[in-house]
C-alpha cells in the first residue's frame, strides 16, 4: 500500500474495511433471512414477494444515491446507504408485521442473495479510483473484489455453523 498517498491511506483502509464488514453481513443474511421470515410465520409467497421488492427497491435507492454521489458527496451517500441498512436491520429485528417489513425491505439496503446490492459498490469504486494511481488500479480492484467475496463466504459459513450448533442443541 506504499503507492497510496499518505492523507488518503485511512480512506483506502476504511473503504476496504466497510466492504468486508458489509459483505460478511450479506453472506450471513443470505443463509438466515428466509429461515427467519418463515419462523415469523410468513409463507413462501410472502417471502418471495418481499425478496423481489427488496431487490427492486435496492435498484431504485442505488440509482438515487449513486447518481447524486458526486454532487452531494460520496461519503454522505455512503452514510445514507448505511443508515438505510441500519434502519432495515432494526425493523427486521423487532417487527413481525409483514407490511412494515416489506416497506423497510424496499427502502432499506439489504441483500437477500448474499451479493452486493445497493449504492456501495459503485460509489466505493469511484472513490478508490481517486485514491490509487492508474497503474495500480487493476491490482487494487482485484484485492477489493477478493476481500468482498471472501468476506461474504465467511459470513455464510459462520451463519451456517451457528445454525447447525443451534439445531444440534435442540432449537428449531
What are the pLDDT digits (tens) for 69-113?
999 999 999 999 999 999 999 999 999 999 999 999 999 888 888
Contacts of 63 (CB under 8 A, 6+ apart): none
**Tens of pLDDT, residues 33-80:** 999 999 999 999 999 999 999 999 989 988 999 999 999 999 999 999
Domain membership flag for residue 120 = yes
Q: Give pLDDT, residue 18.
A: 93
Q: Measured between alpha carbons, how far is residue 56 from residues 110, 164, 170 in Å? A: 11, 32, 37
CATH number reported for the structural domain that contains residue 140 in this entry: 1.20.1250.20
Q: Which residues contact 47 (CB under 8 A, 6 or more apart)?
A: 34, 37, 38
Task: Report yes or no: 102 and 60 within 8 Å, Cβ to Cβ.
Answer: no
The number of domains in the chain is: 1
Asked whether residue 1 is assigned to any structural domain, the reply reads: no
Taking all residues of the chain, what is their mean pLDDT, rounded to a whole number? Answer: 90
Is 146 a domain residue?
Answer: yes
Domain limits for position 85: 8-168
Report the pLDDT value the prediction gives residue 3, as an integer from 0 to 100: 45
pTM of the model: 0.87
* 118 falls within a domain: yes
Q: Is residue 2 part of a domain?
A: no
Amino acid at each position: 500500500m506504499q503507492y497510496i498517498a499518505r492523507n488518503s491511506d485511512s480512506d483506502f483502509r476504511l473503504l476496504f474495511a466497510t466492504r468486508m464488514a458489509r459483505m460478511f453481513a450479506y453472506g450471513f443474511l443470505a443463509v438466515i433471512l428466509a429461515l427467519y421470515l418463515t419462523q415469523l410465520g410468513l409463507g413462501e409467497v410472502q417471502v418471495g414477494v418481499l425478496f423481489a421488492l427488496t431487490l427492486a427497491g435496492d435498484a431504485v435507492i442505488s440509482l438515487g444515491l449513486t447518481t447524486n454521489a458526486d454532487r452531494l458527496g460520496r461519503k454522505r451517500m455512503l452514510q445514507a446507504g448505511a443508515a438505510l441498512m441500519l434502519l432495515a436491520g432494526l425493523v427486521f429485528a423487532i417487527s413481525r408485521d409483514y407490511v412494515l417489513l416489506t416497506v423497510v425491505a424496499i427502502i432499506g439496503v439489504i441483500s437477500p442473495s448474499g451479493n452486493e446490492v445497493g449504492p456501495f459498490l459503485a460509489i466505493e469504486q469511484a472513490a478508490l479510483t481517486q485514491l490509487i494511481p492508474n497503474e495500480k488500479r487493476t491490482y487494487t480492484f482485484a484485492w477489493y473484489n477478493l476481500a468482498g467475496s471472501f468476506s461474504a463466504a465467511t459470513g455464510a459459513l459462520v451463519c451456517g455453523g451457528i445454525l447447525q450448533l443451534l439445531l444440534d442443541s435442540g432449537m428449531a
